[in-house]
Amino acid sequence: MARLLELAGQPRFKVRAYDRAAQALERLSSDLGRLVAEERLTELHGIGPRLAAVISELYRTGSSQGLEKLRQQYPSGAADLSRIPELGLGRIKALSGAGVTTIAQLKEAAEKGRLRALKGIGEGTERRILERIRRLEAPPRLLLPAADDAAEELLAYLREAPGTVAAEVAGGARRRTETVDDLVFVLASTKPAEALDHVRSASFLSTGGRDGHIVRGSFPGSLPVEVRVVAPRRYPTELLFATGAPAHTEQLQHVARQRRLKLETSGLSSVGRAGSVAVGSEADVYGALGLPPIPPELREGEGEIEAALDGTLPEDLVSSNDVQGMVHCHTMYSDGRHTVEQMARAAEGLGMKYLTITDHSPAASYAGGLSIDRLEAQWEEIARVQQSVTVKLLRGSEVDILADGALDYPDRILEQLDIVIASVHQRFRLDAAQMTRRLTRAMAHPCFKIWGHALGRLVLSRPPIECRVEEVLDVIAASRAAVEINGDPRRLDLAPRWIRAARERGIRFVISTDAHAVADYRNLQLGVDMARRGWVRRGEVLNALGAHAFARAVSPAGRSA
Ligand SMILES: [Zn+2]
Ligand SMILES: [Zn+2]
């Protein structure tokens, strides 16, 4: 109905009301029939009396007068086809006249080049339509914060299951991978059969069927969901297998065999003498295999088990408690939403000892980059705010690395700053040789101290820039500059594999939020997650230092030792 109302040119708020109601129903964790019977639909968020009446009618009769009336106004398939933004009413009518009323038929027609025969559809539009269809068909992936929100919502429901002693999200969400393409949960209950019934009674979990103790379904956005319901004794191994990448758990099984043990989702047992080995936690499982506990973020099968076996797995991985300063923060001077004072007070409220104000430089004109005059005005404001806050304010800039590798303020300005983060914001499409030259030239500048969102990727939408990363890292290591681990969920840059390459060269890191509003301070945890995935130890993170040591380490005025 939302799609048809949109096509009918109804006001946006009305369309959105239907969209929201549909989402509320998709997420429903109780029985819809009962809500209808007891007339309690309006208790759901976003569903008022009118929508409740429509939903009841749909539930009871399979249709609604409103829906039928809308359908009569449009060619059949209009609601489905309108999911493609290129298709307005005119094109949908033309398609319908040509017998195309479903996305599948549309795809076939586009692939055979038959759409361009229709009036008003050219070859370019045909290609774009095909691209849209492919995107609709691609399996959905969520950015980490969206996955966290969905997981939290589901966990709240799962924990209400009878006899629950533990429930956790596993899979990529627990390993903190940049995107998540399914949500896997493990639930331990002393009454597994009843717990299973509770899990299956959620509408979104009844769609994918059941397979022994595993219930499958999908969450709004059609993200696949899987819940494994087990007795408590089986929880540690089930969680272990549901969390680790296959390479990790396969290697663990190999280690187990060498110790004459058998490791399975159902538990740990000894080979010769029949009988299971009791394990109360994942740490117990690792312990039985002669390994220290391996944190979820490291369970990728990328050398962590070898490192654990030979005692070189870092035990002091950085955690969010170690971070003492908020790095890389924007204000209203450029494209941020809050003032210097608001950013300062919020950082202070989070217990931070320092905060770096790093707005954009002039070349980033689209982001309100600061002229020298504006930058100097900001210095005065920072000095004024500093008098009323205890968090130490560092004046800095996120300076553009220009196309030729120059930095976007004159040296006399850069030298007066407390911190300089240098980033690429434009001209992403140089070839690898040109980009490498650009970056290494920038790094030769004595004020270059931190490489901001290094490879410029946007998760799910923009690939990293092309450059010879290892060569660039060699130059950074030689110049003793640091690399940023950017916690913006769309960036999460540098990526973990390159973080590890940087670590091997002894390069230090800052974990930053790239905050454009106080709410973005939450990005800190995501930055920490990526750092841990890159095996970064506490001592390798500059903003785990106190204010004085940090300021000395990043000062553009001279290369510190
Ligand atoms: Zn930036
Ligand atoms: Zn920024």
Q: Distance, CA 231 to ligand 2 centroid (Å)?
A: 47
| Closest ligand, as measured to the CA of 328 | 2
Higher-confidence residue: 560 or 296? 296
Quote the ligand 1 centre to 362 CA distance (angstroms): 13
Question: CA-to-CA distance for 316 and 324, rounded, in angstroms?
Answer: 16
Q: In this predicted structure, what is the pLDDT of residue 209? A: 75
SS3 285: helix
pLDDT of residue 220: 67
CA of 402 to the centre of ligand 1 (A): 13
Task: Give yes or no for residue 360 having a pLDDT over 90.
Answer: yes
pLDDT interval class at 106 (50, 70, 90):
very high
Q: What is the pLDDT of residue 7?
A: 85
pTM confidence score: 0.81
CA of 516 to the centre of ligand 2 (A): 8
- The closest ligand to the CA of 358 turns out to be 2
Contacts of 194 (CB under 8 A, 6+ apart): 161, 162, 163
Residue 561 has pLDDT above 50, yes or no: no
Q: What is the pLDDT of residue 221?
A: 63
DSSP 165-230: EEEEE-HHHHHT-SEES-EEEEEEESSHHHHHHHHHTSGGGSSS-EETTEEEEEETTTEEEEEEEE
Do the beta carbons of residue 5 and residue 14 sit within 8 Å? yes
Write phi, then psi, for 58 (nearest 5 degrees): -60, -40
Question: Which ligand sits closest to the CA of 515?
Answer: 2
pLDDT at 560 over 70: no
**Closest ligand, as measured to the CA of 336:** 2
Contact residues for 22 (Cβ-Cβ < 8 A; gap 6+):
2
Mean pLDDT of 436-463: 94
Ligand 1 centre from 425 Cα, in Å? Answer: 6
Least confident of 211-215, 295-299, 448-452, 525-529: 211-215
Read off the DSSP letter of residue 11.
-
Query: Which residues lie across from 395 on neighbouring strands?
Result: 357
Query: Is the pLDDT assigned to residue 544 strictly greater than 90?
Result: yes
Distance from the CA of 332 to the center of ligand 2, in angstroms? 12
Is the model's pLDDT at 418 over the cut of 60? yes
Mean pLDDT of 140-151: 91
Do residues 344 and 356 touch, judged by C-beta distance below 8 A? no
Closest CA to 160 of 208, 107, 197, 205: 197
Mean pLDDT of the 266-293 span:
92
Compute the average pLDDT of residues 436-454.
96
Distance 453 CA to ligand 1 centre (A): 7
- Name the least confident of 86-90, 137-141, 329-333, 488-492: 137-141
| Separation of CA 102 and ligand 1 centre (Å) | 42
Distance CA 70, CA 73 (A): 5
Does the pLDDT at position 317 exceed 90?
yes
487 CA distance to ligand 1 centroid (A)?
12
Write phi, then psi, for 190 (nearest 5 degrees). Answer: -80, -10
- C-alpha 19 to ligand 1 mean position (Å): 34
Residue 546 one-letter amino acid: G
Q: Is residue 537 predicted with pLDDT exceeding 60?
A: yes
Question: How remote is the CA of residue 80 from the centroid of ligand 1, in Å?
Answer: 39
Please report which ligand is nearest the Cα atom of 516: 2
DSSP-derived secondary structure letter, 296:
G
Average pLDDT, the chain: 93
Q: What is the C-alpha to C-alpha distance for residues 40 and 52, in angstroms, rounded to an integer? A: 9
> Looking at 86-90, 149-153, 261-265, which range is the least confident one?
86-90
Distance 423 CA to ligand 1 centre (A): 6
Instruction: Give the 3-state secondary structure of residue 102.
Output: coil
How much is the pLDDT for 550? 97
How far apart are the CA of 527 and the centre of ligand 2, in A?
Answer: 14
Q: What is the pLDDT of residues 11-58, one digit of tens each?
A: 888 898 998 888 788 777 677 888 899 999 998 888 899 999 999 999
| Nearest alpha-carbon partner for 413 in 372, 380, 381, 451 | 372
pLDDT for res 558: 58
pLDDT value at 559 more than 60: no
Position 77 confidence tier, pLDDT thresholds 50, 70, 90: confident
408 CA from centroid of ligand 1 (Å):
13
Distance in Å, CA 364 to ligand 1 centroid: 9
Across the range 128-143, mean pLDDT stands at 85
- Nearest ligand by distance to the CA of 424: 1
Q: What is the mean pLDDT of residues 277-285?
A: 95
